[in-house]
Amino acid sequence: MKFFVCDMWQPYVDLAKVFFPNAIIVIDKYHFIRHVTWAIENVRKRIQKSMTATLRKYYKRSRKLILTRYHKLKDENKEAVDLMLLYNDDLRIAHKLKEWFYEICQSDKYSYQCRELAKWIQNAESSGIKEFEKCAATYRRWHKEIKNAFKYGYTNGPTEGFNNKIKVLKRISFGLKNFYRFRNRILHCTR
């Protein structure tokens, strides 16, 4: 086995090192990108707590605007995001860090990704935003495996997609008594 793709859970990595000592450990892209999403969401939630009720509702309803890549927004939505970011320095810095990290992830140049990831971690650590400091600490611990994800591009997406299809089949079937029928149904529906 050349590669072992997993999420950011240390027992998986320990298992890989025991049973596949020569495998390169790769962190699934979804699992490390979501840490930035969680960080900016937690910043938004923290800031919302100090707002008036109407402003709090507006920020909650507009959360997708903050999470969406800025360049993909329509002009009127960009204006709304700009206005929301003017409200708080932490949210503005968090949004800038989120955009920068997504840009790093979408690049196809490995040397750029490695260089910028190191800079991003330093900036997040010194940002003064506890949510991004925690995210940066996690990335520092998994730095090598994240760089492997950039370099090799392997992901568990297809496997997790098949598992999701099987779970949906099981749920809509309301249980099946015959394992072989269930197996055949899975084989027919996942081709």
pLDDT of residue 185: 84
The residue extents of the domains of the chain are 30-152, 157-189
What b/e string do you get for 57-81 counting C-beta neighbours within 10 Å, with b at 16 or more? eebeebeeebeeebeebeeeeeebb
pLDDT of residue 181: 85
Report helix, strand or coil for 6. strand
Quote the distance between the C-alpha of residue 21 and its chain's center: 27
From first to last of its 191 residues, what are the pLDDT tens digits of the chain? 899 999 999 999 999 999 999 999 999 999 999 999 999 999 999 999 999 999 889 888 889 999 999 999 999 999 999 999 998 999 999 999 999 999 999 999 999 999 999 999 999 999 999 999 999 999 999 999 999 999 999 998 888 888 888 888 888 877 778 888 888 888 888 77
- Strand boundaries in the chain, DSSP class E: 3-6, 24-27
Q: Is 59 left (phi over 0), alpha (psi -120 to 50) or beta?
A: alpha
The per-residue pLDDT of the chain, averaged, comes to 93
pLDDT of residue 178: 84
Rounded Cα distance between 50 and 59, Å, is 12
pLDDT of residue 26: 96
Predicted TM-score (pTM) of the model is 0.86
pLDDT of residue 184: 87
> What is the Rg, in whole angstroms, of the alpha carbon atoms belonging to the chain?
20
The stretches of the chain forming alpha helices (DSSP H) are 10-19, 29-48, 53-61, 63-67, 75-86, 89-106, 110-125, 130-141, 143-152, 157-173, 179-189
pLDDT of residue 22: 95
pLDDT of residue 148: 97
pLDDT of residue 79: 94
Q: What is the pLDDT of residues 163-191, one digit of tens each?
A: 888 888 888 877 778 888 888 888 888 77
